C-alpha cells in the first residue's frame, strides 16, 4: 500500500490543486492532502478554515484524506507511513524551488520519494495568490476554485471591506 502526501498551504484550495489531487489518486493507493501549519506565508484563511474547505471538496474523492502538519514534512511522512510526496509544477520558478525542497527532503530521509506532476493546461496560470487578488478586487473566481471556496472568499472580503 503506497500512501502519498500532497502538501501545501491551500490558502485557499484551487481547481489546480484539485486536479493534482485527483491525478495523484490515479497513481497511488491512498492520498493525504496536508496543510502546512508553519508556512512562512501570511495566510488569508486560518488552518482550520483551509482544512474545512479541503475536507468538503475532497469528501467525494475515494481514498483521499485531509490533515495538517507542523514541522518537517518528512517527519510527518515517517509518522504516518507515507513514502511519496506529490508536488505540482506550473512555472520554471516552481521547479527551481520544488527541486531544492525535494533534494533537501531526500537528504533528510532517502526513503521518501518526491514525484512531480505537471499542471494541466487550464490551470497553468492558477495560484492561490492570484485567486485571492482577483477576489479582493471584486472580480469573479468562477471556474478557478470550487463553489464553497467562492462563497468563503466572498464572505472574507465582505467582512474586510465593511
Where in the sequence numbering do the catalytic residues fall? 17, 41, 90, 128
Minimum distance between the CB of residue 88 and ligand ADP, rounded to whole angstroms?
A: 2
**Segment 49 to 108, residues that bind ligand ADP, using CB under 6 A:** 87-90, 94
Minimum distance between the CB of residue 66 and ligand ADP, rounded to whole angstroms?
A: 13
Q: Where are the beta strands (DSSP E) in 49-126?
A: 64-69, 84-89, 113-118
* C-alpha span between 23 and 145 (Å, rounded): 17
Minimum distance between the CB of residue 75 and ligand ADP, rounded to whole angstroms?
A: 19
Q: Is 12 near ligand ADP (CB under 6 A)?
A: no
| Contact region with ligand ADP (CB under 6 A), list: 43-51, 70-78, 118-126, 148-156 | 118-126
Nearer to ligand ADP, 1 or 143 (CB): 143
Buried/exposed 22-56: b ≥16 CB within 10 Å, e otherwise:
ebbbeebebbbbbbbeeeeeebbbebeebbebbeb
* C-alpha span between 80 and 75 (Å, rounded): 9
Is residue 118 a contact partner of residue 87, using CB atoms and an 8 Å limit?
A: no
Q: Which residues bind ligand ADP (CB under 6 A)?
A: 8-10, 14, 16-17, 20, 87-90, 94, 119, 123, 126-129
Amino acid at each position: 500500500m503506497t500512501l502519498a502526501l500532497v502538501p501545501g498551504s491551500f490558502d485557499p484550495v484551487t481547481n489546480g490543486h484539485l486536479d493534482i489531487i485527483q491525478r495523484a489518486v490515479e497513481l497511488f493507493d491512498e492520498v493525504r492532502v496536508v496543510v502546512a501549519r508553519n508556512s512562512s506565508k501570511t495566510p488569508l484563511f486560518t488552518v482550520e478554515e483551509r482544512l474545512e474547505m479541503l475536507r468538503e471538496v475532497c469528501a467525494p474523492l475515494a481514498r483521499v484524506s485531509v490533515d495538517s502538519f507542523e514541522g518537517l514534512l518528512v517527519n510527518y511522512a515517517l509518522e504516518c507511513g507515507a513514502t511519496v510526496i506529490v508536488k505540482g509544477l506550473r512555472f520554471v520558478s516552481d521547479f527551481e524551488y520544488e527541486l531544492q525542497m525535494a533534494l533537501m527532503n531526500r537528504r533528510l530521509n532517502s526513503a521518501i520519494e518526491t514525484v512531480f506532476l505537471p499542471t494541466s493546461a487550464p490551470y497553468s496560470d492558477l495560484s492561490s495568490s492570484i485567486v485571492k487578488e482577483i477576489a479582493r478586487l471584486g472580480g469573479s473566481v468562477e471556474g478557478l476554485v470550487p463553489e464553497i471556496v467562492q462563497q468563503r472568499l466572498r464572505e472574507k472580503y465582505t467582512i474586510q471591506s465593511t
